[in-house]
Structure formats: C-alpha cells, structure tokens
Amino acid sequence: MVKLLELRFKHKNLIETQKHLKEKNVQLRNFAGVVSHDMKMPLANIIVTIDLLKNKYKDNLDDAGFQYLNNLKQSAFKMSDYISNILMHYESDNLTQTELKEYVDVHELLENIIELIDVHDNCDINLPETNKIIHCNKVALEQIFLNLIGNSLKYNDKESIIVDLDFFESDTHYFFSVKDNGIGIEKDKQKEIFKLFTTVAEQDRKGQKGNGIGLSTVKKLINNLGGKIKVDSEKGIFTKFTFSIEK
C-alpha cells in the first residue's frame, strides 16, 4: 500500500511537471515568434535604406563605399535568414500535425521545390526513377527537401553540381534520399551536424558560414513524422542523406 501511494504521488508530480513544461514550451514558441517578427521588420528597413543610399549617393561613393554598403546588406540578409530558421525550428511541431496530411505526387512535389531554389546551368538535379502518389504531410516534406537540396547546392565545390534524389517504400514507411557530389563531411563530425547551432563546414560555396539550425530542424520534423534520418559521406567526394517518414 505504501509503495502504491508513493507511485501515485510520483505519477501526479510527473503529470504536473509535464503540464508545466508544455506551458513553458508554448511560451517559448510564442516568444520566438514575436521576437522574430519584431527583429525582421527593422532588418527589412535596413535593406531598403541601403538600396536607397546606393541609388541616391552613387555619384559620391567610390568602390570602397559601395563595398561597405554591400557588406551591410549581405549581413542584414544573413541575419534575416538566421531569424527565419530559428522561427521555423520552433514552429516545426505545428508543421507535423496529422490533420495536415494529403495526397502528393512525388515528382511534382520535387519539381516545385527545385523551381523555388536558385538552380544554375552548372547543376543537374535528378528525380527518382520511380514516381508515386503518397499520403503524407506535404508542408513538412517540402521544408525537409528545401533544406537538404539547398545544402547540396551550397556546400559543393565542384564545377558541375550533381544531386540525385531517390524514393522507395516499405509496408510502414516512405524512404527518400538526397545525394550530392559536394565537399562531404568527415566521419568524426557526421553525428554533430544534427545538433542545434552546430556547423562543421568552414564556409559554403559563396564563402559564408552556416548557422547550424537547418539540419536540426530537419531532424526534428522527421522525428515528428515517425521517421529517422542518417548521413553517409566521404570527404571531398559525396554526401548522402537518407530519411524515412511513417505512412
């Protein structure tokens, strides 16, 4: 009887703790949303003001002056992207609600994502040989592919970029993969890339350093969809991400 009372007391405390943590998580998510919005508006004003300055005082600025303004604009865009990624990370739970599932054509989904990405002539993105209509959370899957394909393009040092997309399924899961011929990831760093705010690449194709949010959000989305993600890579040769989502 005493043990039962102790277990009941511990269970009650666990329920109260869980309720408290959920409330804190909602508060944190709301805080992140408000702060992100409030920070992005001034950044947008900074970007517009820089363009106005360049246009109005173009006859009075030398090359160094233009370079300073361009550096400011680039930093503002980078900060805006950083804020957007933080917001996406905290909103990822809302993206994976079961009621958001719909029927999706795999090829059509990937083609639409490729159109959204800045793909140049030196890049070939190959769709899966097999196409199928699947029932899944389209919005979450789009975010996953936007990040993974975007990384394949950004972290690539080859003159000709090649990205291979694949799809297959089991009785319980859909499986997808994104493979590129980019810079690769060292074996001892492959477990680190999914940690929030962790970056392993010194810089991307444009010489910029990542913020370490994207892959953490991708893993969170996939976990919420009942799947897993893994990476296989060889430094300087290729990187392949394979992930699953539950049917």
DSSP 3-state of 120: coil
pLDDT tens string 92-136:
666 666 567 889 999 999 998 888 887 777 899 999 998 999 999
**CA-CA distance, 72 to 55, in Å (whole number)?**
15
pLDDT band for position 191 (cuts 50, 70, 90): confident
**Which pairing describes strands 173-180 and 133-137: parallel, antiparallel, or unpaired?**
unpaired
Distance from the first to the final alpha carbon of the chain: 44
pLDDT computed for residue 89 by the predictor: 62
The answer to whether the pTM exceeds 0.75 is: no
Phi-psi group of 168: left, alpha or beta (phi > 0 → left; psi -120 to 50 → alpha; rest → beta): beta
What is the chain's length? 247
Q: Rounded mean pLDDT of the chain?
A: 84
Domains and CATH numbers, the chain: 2-95 (1.10.287), 98-246 (3.30.565.10)
The residue among 101, 93, 142 whose CA lies nearest residue 247 is 101
Residue 101 vs residues 130, 140, 193: alpha-carbon distances, Å: 21, 10, 28
